[in-house]
Chain A
Amino acid sequence: MKRVFYLDGQTVPFTSGQNVLEAAIAAGMARQIPYFCYHPALGSLGACRQCAVKIYPHDDKHPPRVTMACLLPASDNLQLATVDKEVHTEHREIIELLMLNHPLDCPVCDEGGQCHLQDMTVQTGHAVRRYSGPKRTYHDQDLGPLVYQEMNRCITCYRCVRFYQDTAQGDDFGVFGSRDRVYFGRLEDGPLESPFSGNLVEVCPTGVFTDKVFRHDYARVWDLQQGPSVCPHCAVGCNTMPGARLGTLRRVRARHHPEINPHFLCDRGRYGFRYVTAAERPVQARLHGARSRQDVVLRQVAMRLQEGRSGFLGSPREDVQSNLALFALADCLHAPFAALSSPWMEALAQQCMALPQAPTLSDVETADHLIVMGDLGGVAPMAELAVRQALRNGAQLTVLASQPTPLAEAGDYRPTRPSALPDLITGLAEDVCLQGSRRPVILAAAETLGPAGVHALRKTLARLPANARAGVFQNSPNLFGAAYFAVDGHTARLQHALRQRQIDHLLCLAADPLGSDWGAGTWRSLVPGLQGATVLDMVDTDTVRAAEAVLPTAAFPERDGFFINYEGRIQAFAQVYRREAPVLHPQENVNSFPAAAGGQMHPLGPPTPQYWLGRLAELLDIVKPWQERLAFYQHFLCPISPHPDSPGVLLDDALRARFEIAAAPAAAPVGTEDWELDLFHWYGGETLADAAAELQSLAPARGLRVSADISAPFATLSGPCGRLRLPVIPIVGMVAGVVALDQEGFAELGLYPGEAVQIQWEVAS
């Protein structure tokens, strides 16, 4: 039976547990009840007193009374009214009180046009200021490069502190002071430490917290071109809403996805978009490092391909169709192709693909027993946020990691060497605690687990009750899409062909084999056999700088496509804007659109990878077979293309099932007295986001993280592919015998997490 109550004589449906305001908003009747402190993700507080309604009791004993809609549980046949003199008085007078000290800032306030306070003020009809006394003012704080503060505009709804302290469980932001002087900020000036600090901008209903990055390149929301997109910075695949104007991307906001990110984004997702506007971004075709005309570069690449000595390398950083298009081209030319840059990554991808259906983030929030392995928050921050919600709901959390990650501090931290993880995971099958819980969830950072660990996880899951779920996360958006091509030994075969000099040219799609991709060390050792590389990419990488030919590609908000996230969910993103010569930005004009070789300005931004590959197919006279193959693979992999506005569709189980036969990879044994490597991952770090200047200004210092009992200032690591000298960063609480290194370091050494490494400590002089 449908449950309803009545608001001004209209029926409002509700579900149990909802309050009146929540139900009214869901029914599209928010116009009748103005509100401030209620937020769907933060709940009700009753702080602002704005959401008054009049309740008519069913009996005669109690007179009708005014109450707060957000604190009133919805119940059957409630009689409520807002068209009422007392209710109007309350609405009008509360907003007037809130506006008493409000500055005359709207013209210079970045919230203007998307301001909840503006909307509510107009809605309640408060148009004339009667109070003429002096207004209260505050000094503001410098909260770092991402969030801008203007405290004068505060209406003390407490949304910010409820988000920061309760939802994100950050501890460097809070509420200070008393009476009409309450202050929302940090104890001292300084950057906000939470990986979710950017959400303050969205939860604050006024202009106290605004987007500092957007501020420097501001446009009013009504002028923004917006469209549905998907975050390209990690495997979670949060839904985003980028906004652009005059051909430049200005900001990214969260877009509602009921199961992944109903309201929030991490800072990498919100501020990482600046790779699109980075000055170093390749936007013009290059040949031998110099800007050149498209057709010249294309002819050169086509000539290389015609020689028949080319290899093709795809990437989990690119979308499904681009990888497919590359695969189809390689197929037509009978050239070796690999989607991943190292055999280790290939094995890892296969094992991830073979895992049973992962839990959605909303499932994680309702888990009652969580086991987290590795630095989950560093790799996929929103997964950490989901774990924190589960913690708030009373879940039990065990963290198996070598470093005291922020999540480890919130749960039961069991210091663990990464090489011990596979055995520990196998042991979990007998864990009574896990067996007995209602909704156990295991989450892990994929690289820390390694192929052996993920394989052990699959075996363990098979032995656990059916309600146990597991998800592994990685920091590229389309590992599953690329894993589809990760057939046994493709990468090894490609590397072998290069080593044997069967090929001497590499066509890389958003891959960085000479830079920071996994296994880059091996590729670098193969450089002597390489006559030249062609790169299709949207950021400046080592490979782009070293390449013979560079074909710049459109950034993700500049085109359509699909990503497959950690659950195997195919999500579409739509083109939001077209990059154009930004006429109103003199400095952009100089940086991004210099005169081409022919002396002409290029009016449009870089095209998609499919366009480049199609042009190459044209020059090679294989358009028809290429298109046929492309269409066939696409139909095979994602027969139903989801709409960008839809929640996406899950990858067919049959497609994933074929990876179940992937052999159990053997992990190299590590002795107890060996130094062992683990991955250190900063929450803002990822190949694309690394080009986002504002975000990167917060990046922690590079170094080797070891337990605090090591006192050497520097250490030199040696691996099969190279040596690396790094400053030592002592970390209290880190497992002895483990050193944590960033991905670039691994690429340099040619090693992987959980492997042994030779270290020479430099003695302090």
Chain B
Amino acid sequence: MSAYRSFVQLGLGLWTTLRQIGRGASTISYPEEALKLPPRWRGRPALTRDPDGDERCVACQLCSAVCPTRCIELQAGEREDERRYPVSFRINFSRCIYCGFCEEACPTLAIQLLDEFAFSTEHHQDFIYEKEALLIDGTGKHPHYNFYRHAGVALHDKDKGQGSNESPPVNGRSNLP
């Protein structure tokens, strides 16, 4: 009885195998062949630019605070018009686990996870990417967002009250009702 059942199952297995003949290979020869990754794939983070081409990051340090492996380190600086930017920004990719928390925390959509996930070097210190290596030229996944257009602070090309959804500055001296 049990011998008969074994034969049937053997046969079924063989049939499953035979069915695949002619369908072609489903593995690809990575890395020679590129992977087709979904757009929400979590690879290494990069710093993007806003639609005006200026760097998005305002050095708020939320990404470095939320990072579970503490691999982001940055120092804030100020430009002439008091716009905040990171003087230095470094990520240690030998510690980054591609969790995407930084992307989630970033209020300016500056830091975004790319699809690059496998890279190798000969030395550990080569995994420490400085700002020059992190800052890319495009807007990444969010082509339209520009944090400074929504914030209340003034910049060289934007005075108080010129942000989106802002009324012109009030006269703080007026006692009129």
Contact = CB atoms under 8 A, between A and B. Distances in A.
Interface in A79-113: 103-108, 112
B166 A137 contact: yes
Contact of B177 (A132, A150, A179): A179
Nearest to B149: A104
Given A108-B153, A246-B75, A181 B108 contact: no
A222 to B, nearest CB: 6
A177 interface: yes
A119 interface: no
Given A151-B172, A584-B87, A135 B177 contact: no
Given A137-B166, A138-B170, A112 B60 contact: yes
B61 A223 contact: yes
A218 B60 CA distance: 10
Contacts of B65: 220, 222-223
A172 interface: no
A322 interface: no
Contact of B169 (A103, A132, A139): A139
A178 B174 CA distance: 7
A105 B172 contact: no
B175 A107 contact: no
Interface in B141-177: 147, 150-154, 160-161, 163, 165-177
Interface in B118-150: 147, 150
A180 B176 CA distance: 11
A133 B165 CA distance: 7
A215 interface: yes
Contacts, number: 107
B160 A107 contact: no
A139 B175 CA distance: 17
A58 interface: no
Contacts of B59: 218
A181 B170 contact: yes
B151 A103 contact: yes
A153 B175 CA distance: 21
Contacts of A106: 60, 107
A179 B60 CA distance: 33
B177 A104 contact: no
B12 interface: no
Contacts of B78: 215-216
A105 B167 contact: no
Given A104-B150, A215-B78, A584-B87, A181 B167 contact: no
Given A151-B172, A177-B173, A108 B151 contact: yes
A249 to B, nearest CB: 14
B84 interface: yes
Of A108, A150, A183, A218, most B-chain CB atoms within 10 Å: A108
B176 A178 contact: yes
Nearest to B160: A137
A611 interface: no
Contact of B75 (A107, A132, A137, A584): A584
B174 A177 contact: yes
A343 to B, nearest CB: 50
A631 interface: no
Given A176-B173, A182-B172, A139 B151 contact: no
A466 B175 CA distance: 54
A187 to B, nearest CB: 9
Given A177-B173, A182-B172, A107 B107 contact: yes
A176 B173 CA distance: 6
A105 to B, nearest CB: 5
B67 interface: no
Of B59, B61, B176, most A-chain CB atoms within 10 Å: B61
B88 interface: yes
A132 B164 CA distance: 11
A105 B172 CA distance: 21
Interface in B37-87: 58-62, 64-65, 73, 75-76, 78, 84, 87
A246 B170 CA distance: 41
A299 B80 CA distance: 48
A75 to B, nearest CB: 39
B177 to A, nearest CB: 7
A694 to B, nearest CB: 14
Contact of B161 (A112, A137, A216, A584): A137
A104 B147 CA distance: 9
Contacts of A216: 78
B59 to A, nearest CB: 8
Contacts of A220: 60-61, 65
B112 to A, nearest CB: 16
A736 B173 CA distance: 42
Nearest to A185: B172
Nearest to A245: B75
Contact of B152 (A153, A179, A182, A219): A153
B166 A135 contact: yes
Contact of B165 (A105, A135, A180, A215): A135
Contacts of B168: 137
Contact of B172 (A107, A150, A176, A218): A176
A223 B66 CA distance: 12
Interface in A222-236: 222-223
A152 interface: yes
B167 A137 contact: yes
A585 B60 CA distance: 18
Contacts of A112: 60
B161 A107 contact: no
A153 B173 CA distance: 18
Given A103-B153, A104-B150, A179-B177, A137 B170 contact: yes
B131 to A, nearest CB: 11
Interface in A115-137: 132-137
B165 to A, nearest CB: 5
B156 to A, nearest CB: 15
A584 B131 CA distance: 12
A106 B107 CA distance: 9
B47 to A, nearest CB: 14
A152 B75 CA distance: 26
Given A135-B152, A137-B152, A219 B75 contact: yes
Contacts of B172: 138-139, 151, 176-177, 181-183, 185
Contacts of B84: 108, 218
A624 B160 CA distance: 68
A138 B169 contact: yes
A103 B152 contact: yes
Contacts of A182: 172
Contacts of A176: 172-173
Of B61, B152, B154, B169, most A-chain CB atoms within 10 Å: B152
A179 B174 CA distance: 9
Contacts of A136: 167, 170
B145 to A, nearest CB: 12
Interface string A168-211: 00000000111111110100000000000000000000000000
Nearest to A585: B75
B169 A137 contact: yes
Contacts of A560: none
Nearest to A152: B152
Contacts of A185: 172
A222 B66 CA distance: 11
A183 B173 contact: yes
A140 interface: yes
Interface in A131-171: 132-140, 150-153
15 contacts: A103-B152, A107-B147, A108-B60, A137-B152, A137-B161, A137-B166, A137-B169, A138-B160, A138-B169, A140-B154, A216-B78, A218-B76, A219-B75, A223-B64, A585-B75
Given A104-B152, A107-B62, A137-B169, 14 more contacts: A103-B151, A104-B150, A106-B60, A136-B167, A150-B153, A152-B153, A177-B173, A177-B175, A178-B176, A185-B172, A216-B78, A220-B60, A223-B61, A585-B87
Q: Rank and list the top 4 A-B pairs by shortest CB-CB distance, nearest first.
A: A103-B152, A183-B172, A107-B60, A137-B161
